[in-house]
Amino acid sequence: GGNGSRSSAPSGGPITLSFYNTDLLYDVPFTDPVAQEITRKTGVTLDVYHGKSEVNAEPDIALLLTSRSSYDLLYVKSDVSRLVENGAVVALDDWIAPDGTHVNLIEEYGQNFKRLYGDELVKLRYRDGHIYTFGTYAVKSAIPEPSGTLQLQYAVLKELGWPRIRTLTDYADALRRYLAMHPTINGRPAVGLSLLTDSWHWYVGLSNPGNFVIGRPDDGQWIVNPDTLEASYKFLVPEMALYYRWLNGLYHEGLLDPESFTQSEEVWKSKIATGAVLGISYASWEFEDAEMPLVESGQEERTYARLSVVADADVYKDPALTDRGYSGGWGVCISRNCRDVLRAFQFMDWMCSEEAQVLTHWGIKGKNYEVQDGKRVVPQAELDFRKTRQDYSLRTGVGLWAYPFPDAGDGATGSDGDWLTPFARLRSSDTYLPVEKETLRAYGATHWSDLFPQPEELPRPRYGELWLYLLPPDVDKLVADADEYTKSMLIQCILAPEPQFDALWAEMTARLRDMGMEDAGRTMSALIQEKMQLWGMP
């Protein structure tokens, strides 16, 4: 019956499936309005378990590999390779049913799954050729609303007469000039650039900007030559020093917050909320909630403009809008100990349906969105609620069950021709704060993305997203050790007297070579080649 004859409508009565999510810091109840609607449609209630402790998720993975593990669905990010190698998860295209027959669940029951991923389905293949995951992340991305490599308060840009901030030099100059005019803000000493580098945050707040300013996209801790597809551990690439040398200069000039390498996320966010921090460097999903108190207290000019900044505007292009295509890799798996593999598969297949995509991203019709002239729209009252309530998702369920489940993406339209997610509507400039509109107008733009190099000007990585690649465990461990060492050395380089910077940088790269990071780069390059073959690409 591989001709799609079997119904993909979930069958059977109510069932509870346990779901282990390595990304959660606490258990999320499956009780919000969207969750209730999912249960109404499928009969499935999820019992959601968190996998993240403030320290790490390491011990839990070991537990998942034991026969005692009783979870039905698992999301473990890059640890999926360990689950596959240990036979802890079901091959979706080759499930061995209780009666011993081999079943290709994707062919038999996966109509929505196949429709959602289309030609990209091959990118979910593991290195043994089988598919184990319902891929996480957007299948078809839209041009994103970039966060910017560095962010600067609107107040600074306005007072300085809207200068174009294209380079690190321009950015430092803006901080310098504004701080000279306003040593205090709201009665507090003004802070120049304040970084968030605590625990895993350093990857986003300290490591990534180093490659962004030299025009290299986010490939985790790697830089790939777009022509030869050779990968290098990024801190072995000489130009990576540019950003950290710049931070060293800022530090000695008093423009870099000296607490950048010691403050917790909480402290960093509370500083932002005072309005006294002129500049930050992070992804918008992390700082937007810290901006809310400023908006609510009428200080929206103390929130942040998103800037496209490189080390040298004649040499580098900001890679923020790089089109990666779909990469596969991580995703939700069905555990070999799952109490009902078929129901679990049918539930996940339903999560791939257009109906589920609309429900998880838009919410409930008549409540979170309305249909006008055949198009879904978010009413103004809901928009305001959405923009000002930090707990919007938790309360309404809108967006809460989109990740890490299958996601058509912000660039995807349904069979009715309408967008499957509200991204395009929400990013219409109607939703911008007045200060955002004023700033964008001053720069002759409508959206932030207008101020960045466009996708067609940038190389398109054929290899997908490198941070989703699954490294052999020994190389994974090596990279983790190298990362830990690199983080401490970068901080030393930034805080050292300026004349010592180059010697410390050289010491760091020599040690990374000794650790075997050139070999790790060769392993990564081989994985890229393997992936090209698996995907049938030249």
- For residue 130, pLDDT over 60 is answered with yes
pLDDT band at 485 (very low <50, low <70, confident <90, very high): very high
Query: What mean pLDDT value characterizes the chain?
Result: 92
Please compute the mean of the pLDDT values over residues 519-533 and round it to a whole number. Answer: 93
Rounded to 5 degrees, what angle do the CA atoms 215, 220, 226 make? 45
pLDDT at site 152: 99
Phi/psi of residue 464, nearest 5 degrees: 75, -145
Domain assignment of residue 418, yes or no:
no
434 in any annotated domain: no
* 158 and 288 belong to one structural domain: yes
Q: Could you tell me the pLDDT band of residue 428, with boundaries at 50, 70 and 90?
A: low
One domain for residues 130 and 163: no
Q: Which amino acid is at 311?
A: A
CA-CA distance, 278 to 379, in Å (whole number)?
A: 33
What pTM, to 2 d.p., does this model score? 0.72
Q: In this structure, are 339 and 456 located in the same domain?
A: no
What CATH number has the domain bearing residue 81?
A: 3.40.190.10
- Predicted pLDDT at 441: 97
Asked if 27 and 166 sit in the same domain, the reply is no
Does the residue 406 lie in any domain?
no
Half-sphere exposure of 515 (CA within 13 A, CB side): 25
Q: Are residues 122 and 205 in the same domain?
A: no
Over range 216-238, report the average pLDDT. 95
Residue 421 lies in a domain: no
Average confidence (pLDDT) over 138-159: 92
55 lies in some domain: yes
Asked whether residue 243 is domain-assigned, the answer is yes
Count of domains in the chain?
Answer: 2
Query: How many whole angstroms separate alpha carbon 302 and alpha carbon 156?
Result: 9
Quick check: helix, strand or coil at residue 238? helix
Does residue 2 lie within any of the structural domains?
Answer: no
One domain for residues 197 and 304: yes
* Mean pLDDT to the nearest integer, 470-475: 86
Same domain, 243 and 102: no
Band of the pLDDT at 5, cuts 50, 70, 90? very low
Does 423 reside within a domain? no
In the predicted model, is pLDDT for residue 1 greater than 90? no
Over residues 358-400, the pLDDT tens digits come to: 999 999 999 999 999 989 999 989 988 887 887 899 999 999 9
11 contacts: CB under 8 Å, gap ≥ 6? 343, 346
- 380 and 261 belong to one structural domain: no
Supply the range of the domain harboring residue 458: 150-321+452-531
pLDDT at 56 (0 to 100): 55
Helix (H) / strand (E) containing 527: helix 517-534
Say yes or no: 79 and 225 in one domain: no
Please give the share of the chain, as a percent, with pLDDT higher than 90. 76
Q: What is the mean pLDDT of residues 1-21?
A: 67
58-112 pLDDT tens trace: 547 777 887 767 899 999 988 888 899 999 999 999 999 999 999 999 999 999 9
* 366 and 346 within one domain: yes
Q: Count CA atoms within 13 Å of residue 7 on its CB side.
A: 5
97 with 197, same domain? no
> Do residues 358 and 481 share a domain?
no
